[in-house]
Structure formats: C-alpha cells, structure tokens
Chain A
C-alpha cells in the first residue's frame, strides 16, 4: 500500500508540473502527462491487459484504462491523467476502508481464546484449545479468557460474560458452577474441568454462527447481486451507442465530444459501491447485535425482523421466569411468619415444585424433630403433625374432604389452603413470577412499531389473563395444547399484512414446531442451551425479553443504512450518467460517482456496527 501511495504522490507532482507547464512547449507537456500517467496508472493498464489475455474483459481495470487512454486520444491529456490519479486515490481509500472494517469486525469477534493452560500432573502446559480433551483440568488466571466450557473444581472468582451476553454485571463463580468459554476471568484463580471439547464449546458455536450468518442473504443483498449482474453490461452498451450513434446522426455532433461522454459512462459502470456496502451493513448489524447478546443467523432474518408486525410470546420461561414462587400469604389469625413456617414444615417431605417454593420462601432449615408425622393424601395435599398441632395443607379438595370451610375467592395461581387443628388458617398463593423487564419489553415493542403482541400459554385462563393484563399484551390465548399453538400461529400469519412479518419468542425447547412455523423464530436464554441455538433464527443469549425490542431496533437501523446506501449509490450513478450523456458532467464527476460513492457508502455502513446506544 505504501508503494502505491508513493506512486500516487510522484505522479501527482509530475502532473502538477505538466498543468503549470512552465516552459510552454506542447510536446514537453504531452510527454509530462504521459510520464505521470505511466507512473500513476501503469499497474491498472497492466492488469487490464493480463485479464483480457485470460479471457476476462469487462473488469474495472479494463474500463478505467479504456476511459483514460480514450481521453488521451480525444486530446484531453490532463483529464486522462487526473481521472486515473483520482481513481487510484479512491482505490487507496477504499482498500483502507475495507481493511478498517475487516479489522473492526475481527475485533468484535475477538472472543476466540488463543490458548488453554492445561494441568498435567504438577506441570501446567500451554495448549491450543482445539487439542484439549474432555475431562482435562485447565487453570485460568485473572484476566484470561475461559477457553473451553467446563465446571469449576477449585477457586472463587468473578467472571465477565459481556462478550456472550452483553450483560456488564460480573457473575460470581465458585467450585461446582459451570463456566462458558468466551467469558473473562476477572480476579480469582480457578481450576476448571473441561466438559466440552472446543468444537462443541459455546465460544466456537457463537463464532461459527455469526461468521456464517452472511451466507443467508437478505433480499436487499440478493437485489444488489442481481442488479450488479445487469448494470455493468447495460452501461457499457449504452456507452458504445453513445460514442458512435449521435455523431453519425446529429449534425454538428463531433466524435471527440461524444466519445468523451461515453468514456465517462465507462467510469461509472462499476457497481462496487453497492456490492461492498450493502453486505457490509448487514454484517455490521449482525456483529453489533452479537455484542448485545443477540445472535442473528442471517441477513434475511435481520431484514425480516425489521418488518415485524406481530410478536407472539410463549408465557412460561419467556415472559415469566418459569420458576414457582410464593406470591401471597394470607393468614386468618396467626402471624404470617408462623403460618408460613407451619406450612413449610408440613410440605417439607415433598419434592413437588410447590413445596420447594414454600421451602425457599421460608428460607430456614427444617428441624426434623418438630415433625411428628406426615401423611400424604394423593391429589389433595398433606396432613402433618408439627409441634403437636395438626396441620392440613393442600388444595380446596382437601378442605372439602375434611369439612373445613374456606374462602372461595377468585385467585390466580396455585393456592395452598391451610387448616390448623381443624380450623381454617389461611392460604398461600404460589405462581410463576413475571420477569423484571417483561413490562418494559412489551412497552418498547410498541415503541419499536410492533402492531400487535400476543401471548400463548398452556396455563389456565385466570393465570394467563392475569399475566397478559399485567404486561399489556393485546391478545392472550390460554389452556392451549401444543397442537393448538401451531393452529393459532396459522391464523395469526393470515392476520398480518402482506409484507409484514410475525416473530415468535419462546424458550426454544418445547416449542420447536411453533418456532419453525413463524417467519422469525426467537429463542430466549440461549446461553448454554444448544437446542435453542439450533432451532431458532435469532437467539437471545440472556433471559431478557426486552432484548427482542433491542433486536428489532438494531435490525431497523441496519436495514435503513443498507437502503440509504442503495438509494445513494444508485441515485448518484444515475444522475451522473444522465448528466454525462447530455454533456453536463465531466469525467471528474464520473470518478466521484465510482470511487467517491464507494468510500462514502462504506463509511456509512460502519454505523451499523455501533449499537451501544440502542
């Protein structure tokens, strides 16, 4: 690149001397122009010649050589050199811009671990992560990347997962926890037993996915490829017609003038600006999204997401945490703590999610000595004797069976009724908990232009509608079987407009058919779940549903940038073509329409990479 630059500078100086022409001799002037042309453009002409010998005619080098040498022949020496000079400067800029964008994308993907410290007996050997086997012990020092997925066997530390999740709060890790490759060990020293070889490890899967994302091309990219295939031949043919037809037909029209116009056409005939900048925009968008913990599997999905009209959520695990938790404690007369304590004791022998959530709400250890007896009454609940008090805990059937009157209020969630010494003591409501950011998630979807939000759930009507109302979901379908979900998707797909898209967000484990049926399948909480990564078009690495709106905003921005580049590049080219056809634009303008536009479009597509304030 440096010799390239030197040649441009040297050629430029000789060109300057020729323009000023201090000695005022025509032949000296011509000679100087010729020398500067050779210095600046000989490589282009040479490549054109060798390519023609290889049977490849209409490439950029050929077109530029033809245009500039043609300018010499029609007597525009100065312009011939200047156009070549400008073209070379533009090419230099362009290769710089391409190198820069390749570099910034490489930095974005800089989560690939370079080595692993493997423990071999007392020694620590530095190895390629590829060569480490499952079961090997690796040590990770502060500041190092975790090279492979594994389980911590020793040590306590904080790890930075931001490269995978976009989440900036470090996570605390101790022996027994699983760690994922690609995270950074912040402060401690940990020993990890490898559970997955490199090829199967998270970091490799993510890199693979993002790097190969561009093989699924968006419609805009396909359009550009098609456009490029026809654009060059058409412009070259028009140029040929322009060069020879008007001078023969129109009186007073000269060959010199029309050939010059035709040569300008040739300069504009390369579709490079489009062919580089549009895929670059999409690639930047995909790279930027991965920084936010959103994996998009292709430009086509990015494009589809920007056109989303309806977003359908699965309830459990997507909008709610999928973990049961005590929501409400209603005690008739006992203090709440004592009431919860007795209920937790009564249920302490069961492994049912309900009793587990009671244990965790109680939060203290169970003293087995206080439990005299426990009888499980299948389908009803338990009857236990604790501290010499008879505690009945279970559903309303248990109360009915034991002839205990209880309040029959409409409650959502699972209700555990409790009677102590045959007196009704109150109830505890246990329900799935709505995720912290779920309300904001639905709100920001509306702001991002989503027309309709839908929630599907297999849960009862009362639970489903309560969650739907709390979140401001437009339409809630409850008590669904898996087959019903597919049917509802079919109906919703008919509801959207022709160009609109439907996105479905689920956990990616139980809802594969629905994910596949939607225009865009989004899997939540993909971190560590291979099934979700496989099944979905877009994977959100964290559990946050609000990332869906983030993904939509990123895709809209990306699509916008791509469209700007298309309109800008094609627009300028067409304007310059028309102006040169009618003789109003010089070859200068034509060079700008070629390389200038390319550089500007590349710079514009850089913006797609920056997602920090989305």
Chain B
C-alpha cells in the first residue's frame, strides 16, 4: 500500500535525503521518497506493517530534523 505524508518545516535538503535513505531501510518498506520541494513523503510498503513503519519513520524524521512535523496528506 502507498501512503503520503506532509513534512511541515522541512528545511534542509540533505536531511531530506538522509530521511529517505533511512526510511527505505525499514522492515516492510518497498519504496520511499522524500520530496524536498513539495515536502512530501511517500511510503510504499506492506499493509500489515504500515503502522510500525509510520511510527519508525516519525522517529527517524524527528532525529534528523527535530522541528519537522509529519502530517497525513
């Protein structure tokens, strides 16, 4: 399944790239992309693991750029 989120306050392009790399490595994620320009995060992954993927992604994002808020798009 595919989920899209908005990353409010995303201000650093290199951080966006780091988030993308880290989220891609999560268990159950097939494909992930962070678009710095539209500030959108798109995750494609296994449906059953989505809840876990979302909390893990949020942790990764907070760690890389603490001011960013992850919201459902």
Contact = CB atoms under 8 A, between A and B. Distances in A.
B55 interface: no
B42 A215 contact: yes
Contact of B14 (A55, A101, A228): A228
Interface string B17-59: 1001100000000010101111110100000000000000000
B1 to A, nearest CB: 15
Contact of B37 (A95, A212, A280): A280
Contact of A211 (B15, B40, B63): B40
Nearest to A231: B14
B38 A105 contact: yes
B11 A95 contact: yes
Contact of A270 (B14, B35, B42): B14
Interface residues on A, range: 20 to 34
Nearest to A91: B11
Interface in A211-237: 211-212, 214-215, 217, 225, 228-229
Interface centre among A51, A56, A215, A225 (most CB of B within 10 A): A215
Interface stretch (A6-14, A271-279, A315-323, A497-505): A271-279
B70 to A, nearest CB: 17
Contacts of A487: none
A105 B13 contact: no
Contacts of A211: 35, 38, 40
Nearest to A50: B66
Contacts of A98: 11
Contacts of B69: none
Main secondary structure on chain B at its contact with chain A? mixed
Contacts of B42: 212, 215
A105 B37 contact: yes
B38 A276 contact: no
B68 interface: no
Given A105-B38, A272-B13, A279-B36, A215 B21 contact: no
A270 B33 CA distance: 21
Nearest to B32: A215
A101 B13 contact: no
Interface in A258-289: 270-272, 275-276, 279-280, 283
A229 B66 CA distance: 20
A369 interface: no
A279 B37 CA distance: 8
B63 A275 contact: no
Interface residues of B, number: 21
Contacts of A59: 15
A214 B33 contact: yes
A60 interface: yes
Contact of A215 (B11, B13, B35): B35
A101 B37 contact: yes
Contacts of B31: 215
Contacts of A272: 12-14
A352 interface: no
Nearest to B2: A212
A102 interface: yes
B57 to A, nearest CB: 15
A55 B60 CA distance: 12
Contact of B21 (A56, A102, A229, A283): A229
Contacts of A217: 33
Interface string A58-100: 0110000000000000000000000000000000000100100
A233 to B, nearest CB: 13
A325 B40 CA distance: 49
Contacts of B16: 275
A270 B12 CA distance: 11
B31 to A, nearest CB: 7
Contacts of B20: 225
A279 B33 CA distance: 12
A120 interface: no
Nearest to A214: B35
A494 interface: no
A54 interface: yes
Contacts of B37: 101-102, 105, 214, 279-280, 283
Given A105-B38, A214-B33, A215-B33, A276 B13 contact: yes
Give the 9 A-B residue pairs with the shortest CB-CB distance, closest first: A276-B13, A215-B33, A275-B13, A275-B14, A214-B35, A283-B37, A225-B17, A272-B14, A275-B17
Given A102-B39, A279-B13, 12 more contacts: A54-B63, A54-B66, A56-B63, A56-B64, A95-B11, A211-B38, A212-B42, A215-B33, A228-B14, A272-B12, A275-B13, A283-B35
5 contacts: A54-B66, A56-B63, A214-B38, A272-B13, A276-B36
